[in-house]
A and B are shown apart, each in its own frame.
Chain A
Amino acid sequence: MNGLDTRPLWLVPVLALLAWPLVLASGSSSATWVTLTVAGLAMGMIIFVIASGLTLVFGLMDVLNFGHGVFIALGAFVATSVMAGLADWTGSASLSHNLWAVFCAMAVAMAVAAAVGLAFERFIVRPVYGQHLKQILITMGGMIMGEELIKVIWGPQQIPLPLPEGLRGAWLWGDAAVEKYRVLAVGVGLVIFGLLGYVLNRTKIGLLIRAGVQDREMVESLGYRIRRLFVGVFVAGSALAGLGGVLWGLYQQNVVPQMGAQVNVLIFIVIIIGGLGSTLGALIGALLVGLMANYTGFLAPKMALFSNIALMAAILLWRPQGVYPVANR
Chain B
Amino acid sequence: MSGGWLSRAVSHDLPRSRWLACLLVGLLLALVFTPFLFPGVKALNVAAKVLVFVVLVASFDLLLGYTGIVSFAHTMFFGIGAYGLAIAFSQLGPTWPALGIGLAAGLGLSGLLAWVIGLFSLRVRAIFFAMITLAVASAFQTLASQLSEWTGGEDGLTFKVPEVLSPSFEWLEEPLWGVSIDGRLTCYYLLLVVALVLLLALLRIVNSPFGRVLQAIRENEFRAEAIGYRVVVYRTWSSVLSALFACLAGAMLALWLRYNGPDTSLSFEVMMDVLLIVVIGGMGSLYGAALGSALFLVAQSYLQDVLRWASEACSAVPWLAALLSPDRWLLWLGLLFVLSVYYFPTGITGRLRARAASVARAQSQSRTAAGR
Q: Which A120-171 residues have C-beta < 8 A from chain B?
A: 124, 127-128, 132-134, 136-138, 140-142, 144-145, 147-149, 151-152, 156
Query: Distance in Å from the Cβ of A202 to the closest Cβ of chain B?
Result: 31
Q: A64-B127, A302-B146 are in contact. Are A269 and B338 (CB under 8 A)?
A: no
Query: How many whole Å from A36's CB to the nearest CB in chain B?
Result: 21
Stretch at the interface among B94-102, B135-143, B149-157, B361-369: B135-143
A308 at the interface (CB under 8 A from B): yes
Contact-residue bracket for chain A: 35 or more
Answer whether residue A312 sits at the interface, using C-beta atoms and an 8 A cutoff.
yes
Contact B135 A137 (CB under 8 A): no
Interface residues of A in 196-227 (CB under 8 A from B): none
Using CB atoms, name the residue of chain A closest to B269.
A144
**Shortest beta-carbon distance, A261 to chain B, in Å?**
7
A138-B341 in contact given A148-B334, A265-B135 (Cβ < 8 Å):
yes
Collect the chain B residues with CB atoms within 8 Å of residue A308's CB. 135
Decide if A98 is an interface residue (CB 8 Å cutoff). no
Given contacts A265-B138, A305-B138, A316-B124, contact A137 B279 (CB under 8 A): yes
Q: How far is the CA of A264 from the CA of B124 in the complex (A)?
A: 20
Q: Which residues of chain A are within 8 angstroms of B295 by Cβ–Cβ distance?
A: none
Of the candidates B124, B143, B334, B337, the one having the most CB atoms from chain A within 10 angstroms of its own CB is B334
Most buried by A among B68, B272, B327, B337: B337
Asked if A272 is an interface residue, CB under 8 A from chain B, the answer is: yes
Minimum CB–CB distance for A171 against chain B, Å: 33
Judged by a CB distance under 8 angstroms, whether B237 is at the interface is no
Partner of A136, one of B70, B123, B327: B70
In the complex, are the beta carbons of B131 and A141 less than 8 A apart? no
Q: A132-B127, A138-B341 are in contact. Are A268 and B331 (CB under 8 A)?
A: no
Q: In the complex, A156 Cα to B121 Cα: how many Å?
A: 35
Cβ of A306 and Cβ of B143 under 8 Å apart?
Answer: yes
Interface: B105 (CB within 8 A):
no
Q: Which of B121, B134, B335, B338 contacts A265 (CB 8 A)?
A: B134
The one of B127, B139, B328, B341 that contacts A152, using a Cβ cutoff of 8 Å: B328
Residue of chain B at shortest CB distance from A139: B338
Whether A32 sits at the interface, judged by CB under 8 Å, is: no
With A268-B134, A306-B139, A308-B135 known as contacts, the answer to whether A144 contacts B341 (CB < 8 A) is no
B337 A151 Cβ-Cβ under 8 A: no
Q: Report yes or no: B142 in contact with A305, Cβ–Cβ below 8 A.
A: yes
Residues of B close to A316: CB separation below 8 A: 120-121, 124
Which B residues touch A141, using CB under 8 A?
334-335, 337-338, 341
10 tightest A-B CB contacts, nearest first: A148-B331, A144-B334, A305-B139, A145-B334, A268-B131, A141-B338, A141-B337, A136-B70, A141-B334, A265-B135
15 pairs from A and B in contact (CB 8 Å cutoff):
A132-B127, A133-B70, A137-B275, A137-B341, A138-B341, A144-B333, A152-B319, A152-B322, A156-B327, A261-B138, A261-B268, A268-B132, A305-B138, A305-B142, A308-B135
- What is the interface of chain A, defined by CB distance below 8 A to chain B? 64, 66, 124, 127-128, 132-134, 136-138, 140-142, 144-145, 147-149, 151-152, 156, 261-262, 264-265, 268-269, 271-272, 302, 305-306, 308-309, 312-313, 316, 320-321
Could you tell me which B residues sit within 8 Å of A by CB distance?
64, 68, 70, 120-121, 123-128, 130-132, 134-136, 138-139, 142-143, 146, 268, 272, 275, 279, 319, 322-323, 327-328, 330-331, 333-335, 337-338, 341-342, 345
